[in-house]
Structure 1
C-alpha cells in the first residue's frame, strides 16, 4: 500500500511538478478556445451548406462532413505535422494540431447544428417569409436561436470531447497538459504527475458535465 501511494500519490512530487503542469494546462485551454471557436464557426457554415438548396454546395458540405467524421483526429494530426513537410509545408505543432482538430470538430459541430435546424418546424420559416422577413434574418433571428437551444447539450458534449481530445496533441510534442505530465513523470520516475493531470482535467470537465446533465433534464421536462 505504501508503495502504491508513493508511486501515484506523492504530494511532494506533485508540488514540484505543479508549475510545469500549470503551463501545460494554460496551453490546453488556449488550444481548446481556438479549436472550439473555429469548430463552431466552421460547423455552422457546413450545416447551412448541407441544407442549401444548391445541389453542388449541399454535396460539397455533406462530403466534407462525412470525410472528416470518418478520419481519426490522431491520423489528421500526424499527417498534417509529419506528412505535409514532404510537400514543402512545415507547420508548428500548435498550428498543426489546431488545423487537425478544426477539420475534425467542425464536421461534428455541423451535424449538431444541422439536427438543431431541422428540429424547428418549417412552418415558422414560411410564416416569417410570408410577412416579409428576409431569408437571412429568418435564419439568424428565428431559426438559429431556437435550434441552438434545442441542441445545446450536444454542443456542450462536443466541447467536452474537444477538451479531452487535446491530449492527442502530445504525439507531436506540443506542451499541453498530458505532455507536460509525461515530461514530469519521466524526470521524477514517478506517476504522481499523471494523477495530478487527471485531477486537473476533472476540475475543468466535471462542471461542464453537470451543466450538460442539467440542460438535458430541463429539455426533457419541456418536451
Structure 2
C-alpha cells in the first residue's frame, strides 16, 4: 500500500472520526449528570417517582441501543398526531438515544457506589452536625465517585466503540468511510486503519482514567 493511497483513505476516515468524537463528548457530558439525577430520583421517598425512574432504567438497559436509535430516528416521526413535530436530524436522534441509554447505565453505577458507602458515614456526619446537603457534597459524593470511577471508565470506553452504531442510521462517521473505501477498492486496509483509530481513542481514554485513578489513590 502506497503512502498516497494511505492518506487518500485516511483523510475521510479522520473526518468521520470527528463525528465519532463529537457524539462521544455529547453523550458523556449529558449522560453522566442525567444518570446521577436519575439515581437520586430512584432513592426518592416519593414512590411513584422512584418507580418511574426504575422503569426507565429497566427499559433502557433491557432493550438494545440500536433499537432505541432506530426508534428515535424512524419511530418518533410516525407516531399518531404528534409524529410530524418529532422529526429529528439523525445525528441528534442518535445522540438522544445514546444519552438516555448511557444515563440508565450510569444511574446504576452511581446507585451501586452509594450503596457501597457504609451507613456509619451518614451517622458520623449527623454527629458532626452536618446537614443533608453538606453530608452529600463533602462526604458521600467524593467517596461514591472514587468507588464508581472504574465502572465509569469501562462505560466510557464502551461508548467510544458503540458510536459505530451511527453507521446503522446512515450518519457518516468513521466506520461509514471505512466501509465505503473497502467496497470501492476491494481491500481490508480501511478496516485496519479504522481499527487503529478506535484503538488510539480508547488508549487516550484509558490513560485519562488511569490518571484520575492515581489522583484518587486507586493504586
Moved more, 29-38 or 174-183: 174-183
Distance 1:221 1:179, change over 3 A: closer
Contact 1:13 1:188 in 2 (8 A): no
Q: Which residue matches 2:28?
A: 36
The secondary structure found in structure 2 opposite 1:151 is helix
- Using structure 2 for the length normalisation, give the TM-score: 0.88
Deviations 1:8-54 (A, max 9, x none): x6654332111111111111111100101111011101111112222
User: 2 CA distance for matches of 1:10 and 1:53?
Assistant: 65
User: 2 CA distance for matches of 1:151 and 1:211?
Assistant: 15
Q: What is the aligned-residue RMSD (CA, Å)?
A: 2.4
Moved more, 185-194 or 112-121: 185-194
Give runs of aligned pairs for residues 91-170 of structure 1, distance below 5 A.
91-170=88-167
- Using structure 1 for the length normalisation, give the TM-score: 0.86
Q: Given the alignment of the two structures, is residue 19 of structure 1 paired with residue 11 of structure 2, yes or no?
A: yes
Aligned length: 214
Contact 1:40 1:106 in 2 (8 A): yes
User: 2 CA distance for matches of 1:159 and 1:69?
Assistant: 16
Contact 1:10 1:192 in 2 (8 A): no
Q: Given the alignment of the two structures, is residue 189 of structure 1 paired with residue 186 of structure 2, yes or no?
A: yes
Q: Which runs of 5 or more structure 1 residues have no equivalent in the other structure?
A: 1-8
User: 1 CA distance for matches of 2:218 and 2:32?
Assistant: 27
Moved more, 109-118 or 203-212: 203-212
Q: Quote how far apart the aligned CAs of 1:138 are.
A: 1.3
Q: Which runs of 5 or more structure 2 residues have no equivalent in the other structure?
A: none
Moved more, 87-96 or 188-197: 188-197
Q: Quote how far apart the aligned CAs of 1:178 are.
A: 0.9
Moved more, 183-192 or 107-116: 183-192
User: 2 CA distance for matches of 1:21 and 1:121?
Assistant: 48
Moved more, 202-211 or 64-73: 202-211
Q: Quote how far apart the aligned CAs of 1:212 are.
A: 6.1
Give runs of aligned pairs for residues 32-111 of structure 1, distance below 5 A.
32-86=24-78, 87-88=83-84, 89-111=86-108
Deviations 1:139-158 (A, max 9, x none): 12210111110121100000
